[in-house]
A and B are shown apart, each in its own frame.
Chain A
Amino acid sequence: MEKWQDQRAWLLVMPVVLLVAFNALIPLMTVVNYSVQDIFDSTHRVFVGTEWFREMLHNDRLHAALLRQFIFSGLVLLIELPLGVAIALTIPRRSGWGTSATLVLVALPLLIPWNVIGTIWVIFLRPDIGLLGHFIDSTLGIHFDYPTVPSQAWLSVMMMEVWHWTPLVVLLAYAGLRSIPDAYYQAASIDGASRWSVFLYIQLPKMRSVLTIAILLRFMDSFLIYTEPFVLTGGGPGDSTTFLSIYLVKMALGQFDVGRAAAFSIIYFLIVLAFSYVFYQVLLRAGRGEAR
């Protein structure tokens, strides 16, 4: 009797099991399915084992895209985190209509659909009619043509990314700052702490948990970036702004190379998973070290 009741408890977790199954497991298994077979049509298929994986791991274009991706995500973290924290520090701690208005304005880029962001920057950067493009090209006198100059393409993608996602870091950092009780600032002012000391010993440690989230989110999102650079540069000129996702989509939909693309997807997924895990562990350990 008791055992029967225990078994029934499984029913309670069924919704979650089903949700996870349809959400994650079944699509993932489909990809695994593709990655170990060569599929010609619905009836003709050949099991190829790890062939696609071996091929992808030795693919030079993938290596280049991966390196590009790491440089991109590294730069994103290096620029967006300090910038986001710096902006958050300038927003008044007390709530009021000014603070609320500032936060809404800061958060605006986060509300724009991603392909629209790309389109906005395409126009913004045009040397003939775009505000910024025209300014660089005509006023500063620097020849600006980002679709043909790789360094300018990179700069453009970076600017767009920073403009789009720094607000998220600002919001997170600001939330962290708001949670610090006034007594900390009062104690610091009585202890004679400088502005820099207050930042280093109070604000930064108290922001650690939100900044951990910011680092994880920004790393993963920037590592998976697709829409905005696809709209802005299409991955060009050449392959110069072809990040992993763009390359993957080119392979899967452009060349309809489903087997290779599936193997690529799984490798991609494992890289993101591994890095997120490492980041999380490192930051968690740093936190525990401080609590000791």
Chain B
Amino acid sequence: MARIEFKDIQHSYFAEPSRPKDYALQPMHMAWRDGGAYALLGPSGSGKTTLLNIISGLLRPSGGAVLFDGKNVTDLTPVERNIAQVFQFPVIYDTMTVFDNLAFPLRNRRVPAAEVRARVTEVAEMLELTDDLKRRAAGLAADAKQKVSLGRGLVRSDVAAILFDEPLTVIDPHLKWRLRRKLKEIHKRYKLTLIYVTHDQGEALTFADRVVVMHEGRVLQEGTPQELFEAPQHRFVGYFIGSPGMNFLPCRLSADGAEVAGQHLPLARHLLAQAPAGQALEIGVRPEAIDFAAAGAAGLSVAVRDVEDLGTRKVATCQLGDLKLKVVVPPEQPIPAERGTVTFNAELTRLYADGQLVG
């Protein structure tokens, strides 16, 4: 187990990067707490896998240092760092049995046979692979193969961290859920540092205690799922997390509120006080933080364009001037047919300047 730190880490796949665009990873500082369950979340090409491979040592960063418990490991190999990594597609050694597959990392480290047997048996039990131990790994189904890959990561009791690179991509949805539960269980039991790369926010939010959102080689925000949901640090986080994403409404500030699409929206004093001058301002509000008010009540007047009933909730698409506004309400709540009035939950209404959270 180890605390992992990034100091000024940056990476480019080009030999001579000149523009910021050449960097897959922009300069960053990061720290991963010992025993934490982290999810690295971001769209394809945002640098998640690059970041993961820098932690494991498969990739040497173009600049900066990687520290494990304060010790510089930038030049060490994955074996020396004692990292386990599970990949997107199951990697198994075709010619070996499941037992030999699981024993492989231990045997390579010259662990005594009795201990190998004990560890493999324990891990197989945990992953429900006991009945398959004597089978050839090549004949297993995709999810069992991925469990074997996962098992090879878990079999070493002393790893600094286990890294997952979208490990459930090839797994059936109902098995996905079980494997994710398994991972959480293992995390609870062994207090391992887990770092989990995914582009699926559902997976990230259910798996991790802390989520790191990446976009274009930058870490935009690191926080608990609740923090990401309630106070996205960046426009992209608000838009990326949540389904549908956060509403962003361009606005102009006035003395006691904001002008949105020609209508007046009262804002909390602290937001008005913090607003910087001369930048593009936007109101950010989650669809879940918007409600329909009784007709004639104070609020913004909108036209309801479309309602989707998702069973557990209803999503209404509204028109506010030229702007689109998504509103999520409980399924039993009626939605006005044509025109309605909406109110924003003041505590969850955020102000963004040039895409960055103001307050």
A102 contacts the other chain (CB 8 A): no
Residue contact A190 to B83, C-beta cutoff 8 Å: yes
CB distance from A68 to the nearest CB of B (A): 36
CA distance A183 to B105 in the complex (A): 16
B136 touches which of A192, A193, A201, A290 (Cβ 8 Å): A290
A90 contacts the other chain (CB 8 A): no
B136: A residues at CB distance < 8 A: 289-292
A192: B residues at CB distance < 8 A: 79, 105, 108-109
B84: A residues at CB distance < 8 A: 190
A275 contacts the other chain (CB 8 A): no
Residue contact B108 to A186, C-beta cutoff 8 Å: no
Q: Known A191-B105, A192-B108; judge A186-B94 contact (CB<8 A).
A: no
Q: Which of A254-292 contact B (CB under 8 A)?
A: 289-292
Residue contact A201 to B93, C-beta cutoff 8 Å: yes
B96: A residues at CB distance < 8 A: 201
Q: Which residue of B lies closest to A204 (CB)?
A: B95
Residue contact A183 to B138, C-beta cutoff 8 Å: no
Residue contact B58 to A189, C-beta cutoff 8 Å: yes
Q: Known A181-B89, A194-B108; judge A189-B78 contact (CB<8 A).
A: yes
Residue contact B149 to A189, C-beta cutoff 8 Å: no
Residue contact A190 to B94, C-beta cutoff 8 Å: no
Q: Which residue of B lies closest to A184 (CB)?
A: B91
B108 touches which of A181, A183, A197, A205 (Cβ 8 Å): A197
A193 touches which of B87, B88, B89, B108 (Cβ 8 Å): B108
B50 contacts the other chain (CB 8 A): no
Q: Known A191-B108, A201-B96; judge A186-B85 contact (CB<8 A).
A: yes
A202 contacts the other chain (CB 8 A): yes
A1 contacts the other chain (CB 8 A): no
A291 touches which of B83, B108, B138, B149 (Cβ 8 Å): B138
Residue contact B152 to A205, C-beta cutoff 8 Å: no
CA distance A292 to B89 in the complex (A): 20
A12: B residues at CB distance < 8 A: none
A183 touches which of B77, B78, B89, B94 (Cβ 8 Å): B89
CB distance from B289 to the nearest CB of A (A): 42
B139 contacts the other chain (CB 8 A): yes
Q: Which residue of A lies closest to B153 (CB)?
A: A190
- Which of A183, A187, A290 has the largest count of B CB atoms less than 10 A from its CB? A187
B229: A residues at CB distance < 8 A: none
B23: A residues at CB distance < 8 A: none
A206 contacts the other chain (CB 8 A): yes
B87-130 vs A, Cβ < 8 Å mask (1 yes, 0 no) = 11101011110000000110011000000000000000000000
Residue contact B95 to A205, C-beta cutoff 8 Å: yes
B88: A residues at CB distance < 8 A: 183
CA distance A183 to B149 in the complex (A): 11
- Contact count band on B: 20 to 34
Q: Known A183-B87, A197-B108; judge A191-B152 contact (CB<8 A).
A: yes
CB distance from B20 to the nearest CB of A (A): 26
CA distance A206 to B93 in the complex (A): 10
CA distance A187 to B53 in the complex (A): 11
A189: B residues at CB distance < 8 A: 58, 77-79
Q: Known A201-B96, A292-B136; judge A190-B79 contact (CB<8 A).
A: yes
B83: A residues at CB distance < 8 A: 190
Residue contact B89 to A290, C-beta cutoff 8 Å: no
Q: Which residue of A lies closest to B56 (CB)?
A: A190
Residue contact B94 to A206, C-beta cutoff 8 Å: yes
CA distance A192 to B314 in the complex (A): 52
CA distance A187 to B89 in the complex (A): 11
CA distance A39 to B288 in the complex (A): 97
CA distance A92 to B138 in the complex (A): 27
CA distance A194 to B77 in the complex (A): 13
B78: A residues at CB distance < 8 A: 186, 189-190
Q: Which residue of B lies closest to A183 (CB)?
A: B87
B87: A residues at CB distance < 8 A: 183, 186-187
CA distance A205 to B89 in the complex (A): 18
CA distance A190 to B91 in the complex (A): 12
A291: B residues at CB distance < 8 A: 136, 138-139
CA distance A202 to B138 in the complex (A): 12
Q: Which residue of A lies closest to B109 (CB)?
A: A192
Q: Which residue of B lies closest to A289 (CB)?
A: B136
CA distance A145 to B47 in the complex (A): 66
CA distance A194 to B138 in the complex (A): 21
Complex A-B, nearest 7 residue pairs according to Cβ-Cβ distance, in ascending order: A192-B108, A187-B91, A183-B87, A191-B105, A201-B93, A205-B94, A192-B79
Given A184-B91, A190-B85, A292-B139, 20 additional A-B pairs, CB 8 A: A181-B89, A181-B91, A186-B53, A186-B78, A186-B91, A187-B91, A190-B56, A190-B58, A190-B105, A191-B108, A192-B79, A192-B108, A201-B93, A201-B95, A201-B104, A205-B93, A206-B94, A290-B95, A291-B136, A292-B136
- The contact sample of 19 A-B pairs, CB cut-off 8 A, is A181-B89, A183-B87, A183-B88, A183-B91, A186-B58, A187-B149, A187-B152, A189-B58, A190-B79, A191-B152, A194-B108, A201-B93, A201-B94, A289-B136, A290-B136, A290-B138, A291-B139, A292-B135, A292-B136
